[in-house]
Amino acid sequence: MSVLEILKYPHPLLKKRSKPVERIDEEIKRLIHDMMDTMYDAEGIGLAACQVGDPRRVIVIDVSPADPAQSLLVMVNPEIISEEGETDHEEGCLSVPDCLEKVKRRERVRARGLSPDGKAVGVEGEGILAFALQHEIDHLNGVLILDRLSGLKREIYRKKLKKKLMKEKEEQS
Ligand SMILES: [Zn+2]
């Protein structure tokens, strides 16, 4: 098991649509374990495979720090099958540093997919679990929180990031 590097915006893989997992084998199980290690190491509440450089549809979520009634959830090929309500929720993302913004989300969602043993699983989420499911499944579709912000907010973030990267470059040279 190992902690993997988390790709950061604007890495191109974060904008790609991930592909379905065709077979759950030892290699996928290893990926899932590495994703769990990486998520816990980064103190995140969710992670999609594309964030660690794997273009397949796998997510891990553990919102128990915010909602103790929940526990670890691993889903392969997850999809949202119904959604209800609408709310603004403040979110951050391990791949989009220094960005904590209100994003429009559904209040309740139902999702289905496969467990790490290949069994069909369904989950009903409300609140933080619902937001995490939407956020991670967005990743599998190449969508980042930046894409859910207003054009102006997105521009401000891009400019801030550009400045930060330039400063880092200057400091290195
Ligand atoms: Zn994210």
pLDDT in tens, 91-102: 999 999 999 999
User: Where in the sequence numbering do the catalytic residues fall?
Assistant: 136
pTM: 0.95
From ligand 1's centre to the CA of 139, what distance in Å?
7
User: What is the rounded distance in angstroms from the CA atom of residue 101 to the CA atom of residue 82?
Assistant: 25
Sequence-ordered list of residues with C-beta below 8 angstroms from that of 128, at least 6 positions apart, any chain: 45, 63, 66, 67, 70
Residue 146 carries which DSSP code?
Answer: G
From ligand 1's centre to the CA of 144, what distance in Å?
7
Question: Which residues of the chain are modeled with pLDDT < 50?
Answer: none
pLDDT at 9: 95
Which residue type, as a one-letter code, is found at position 101? E
From ligand 1's centre to the CA of 93, what distance in Å?
4
pLDDT at 57: 98
Mean pLDDT, the chain, rounded, equals 96
Residue 117 has φ and ψ, to the nearest 5°, of -95, 5
Sequence-ordered list of residues with C-beta below 8 angstroms from that of 49, at least 6 positions apart, any chain: 18, 31, 35, 55, 56, 57, 58, 59, 140
From ligand 1's centre to the CA of 71, what distance in Å?
19
From ligand 1's centre to the CA of 173, what distance in Å?
31
Tokens of 108: 């309740």
Interval 40-60: pLDDT, tens: 999 999 999 999 999 999 999
